Amino acid sequence: MIHPVTFRFSRRAGLVGASALAATALAACSQERDTTSGGGGSDGGGTAATADSNLEELMAHNPKDVSELEQGGTLTLTIGALGPNYFGWNNSGNNVDNSNIYAAMDVSGVWKYEADGTPVLREEFCTDAQYDDSGEKHVITYTLNPEAKFNDGTPYDWKVFENQWKMMNGEDKTIDAVSTEGYDRIEKVEAGEDDFQAVVTMREPYQPWQDLFSGTFHPAINTPELFNDGFVDDLHPEWMIGPFTLEKLDTVQKRVTLVPNENWWGEKPKLDKIVWVQMESSATIPAFKNGEIDGTAVGNANRFEQVKDMEGIDIRRSQTMSISGINFNTTKGHLSDIEVRKAIYQGVNREELASIRFNGIDWSEETPGSWMLMPFSPHYQDNYPFEHDVEAAKKTLEDAGWVAEGDGPRSKDGETLDMTITTFGDDPITNAIVQTLQKQLQNIGFNAEIDARGSGDFGQVMADQAFQLVMMGYTVGSDPTGVVKQFFDSESTSNMTGTGSDEIDELVPQASVSPEIEERAKIANECEKKFQELCAMMPLWNGPSIMAYKEGLANFGPKLFLSTDWSTVGWEKGKKNG
């Protein structure tokens, strides 16, 4: 399974693991990305979205007015991993499963997003936000909703913003923040007219300023110990706030059960219960067919064939908002040698790998060349540095001293050219992709082996960086700015590759200065182009998002960048489940 990484709390990229990407394709952190539709595959297939695509035609979430819905019912969905670290603001917890678990129980923050990625105020928490660039130093003023409180009664006031700035600004290097981008340019946070107005003074300009405080966390999370490890085996519902809250975390049955939150002052939810169940990919289709769960990804031919003739289900398809590929850990083994990495870039046939992913679903797309943007974005640029050329790959290795010995792997100074590919879960399509990648590497002289892990191991493996090559992905946003530092800065704790350069590090801050997205995107693409020359993040595909749901589920499913309003998710009248 290819796990997406997704950080929903702000414009940061979220991680996705290998099996999730073949089955669900969720992944990356560039804005508050909504990942709760589950990602997917298709029966009828199609082609990737373009800049001319009609956004409404790409939405597949069965929008209904709440008056058309039943009151009550249960929604049961699946996740690939459960814990151990549930806090999505640190690197150990930054994954799509945590994002899904918390999606309905922790919605605090200034912004939510329209389908095209446009930010709009989340008025349950913030009634006004103004950016003043008329003075020497830019100032952002947030007017907060005095009704807003966390579950433990702590007010949602200016101290939330002050604490978040202090925890996220990068000054304390022991804090394992996913990204410090933007927060490292704040000079101070103060109370305004009262405690329910936060005034943020910028030390340096930062754009898009809406990235800041898009999502927020409880001010009690105020030490490195709590930030890094305080959520290990503990969801801390008392520090959350949303239309739902935790009823039970059952690590034996691997279930998280949510119920309506009596502390929530916003619109009351239609559902009586939301249940997240941890399952391996192979178990989800039988569970869906048996009525144990209400939705599953059917994003490849094998999965779709198993459900296509079922009655009482709804297949929903769209363009996925993610990018899948291979991360190189340049601190491990022979990957420290850029010539070895270059040979992999030259020798891997990305089109062949994508053809396995899309086999049987009639989907076509150009092989992507960027981790930052979807190809239909007007700011997208193909930054991949090499054409596929097996002979060139072999020559690169030979010139670097790696000598071929018959049909076996190459060697140099008595060492074999070993390489390990780490994958997660038991999805057969992912396994076929990884096995093909293994053969491609063997074809140019590698002794390539597969390290197969369970889906539940994804978070720990990524936290420990216990891999050489790993199949994974990231959710993708509409603005590239927020992920530039996260991906390409050599000092970023979210740079999973362990590489970078002084030239790129000097360029990265420039990508978030201009108020014009065209200028920011130009610099962001320059950063990515230079980073791709280091051969450490290989993009493979975007793909379709196709889900099978029990018939009647409303306001839920693939919907581009649109934020889920969990108070409106429910069952059409006469279709209630549970």
Residue 6's pLDDT is 39
Q: What is the tens place of the pLDDT at every residue in 127-171?
A: 999 999 999 999 999 999 999 999 999 999 999 999 999 999 999
Q: Name which of 257, 181, 248, 255 is nearest 481 in CA terms.
A: 181
Query: Do 131 and 267 contact (CB within 8 A), yes or no?
Result: no
Query: Do 1 and 427 contact (CB within 8 A), yes or no?
Result: yes
Q: What DSSP designation does 142 have?
A: E
Query: Do 528 and 383 contact (CB within 8 A), yes or no?
Result: yes
Residue 23's pLDDT is 35
Structural domains of the chain sorted by starting position, each given as residue range(s) with its CATH number in brackets: 19-106+244-320+547-571 (3.40.190.10), 111-226 (3.90.76.10), 322-541 (3.10.105.10)
Query: Do 245 and 275 contact (CB within 8 A), yes or no?
Result: no
Residue 30's pLDDT is 33
User: DSSP of 256-321, one letter per residue?
Assistant: EEEEE-TT--SPPPS-SEEEEEE--HHHHHHHHHTTSSSEEE--SHHHHHHHTT-SSEEEEEEE-S
Q: What is the tens place of the pLDDT at every residue in 415-467?
A: 999 999 999 988 889 999 999 999 999 999 999 999 999 887 887 888 889 99
Residue 497's pLDDT is 95
Widest pairwise Cα distance in the chain: 77
Q: What is the pTM of this model?
A: 0.83
Residue 477's pLDDT is 84
Residue 32's pLDDT is 44
Q: Which residues of the chain fall below pLDDT 50?
A: 3-11, 18-33, 38-44
Using CA atoms, how far apart are residues 7 and 357, in angstroms rounded to an integer? Answer: 24
Residue 104's pLDDT is 97
Residue 460 in tokens: 């720990």
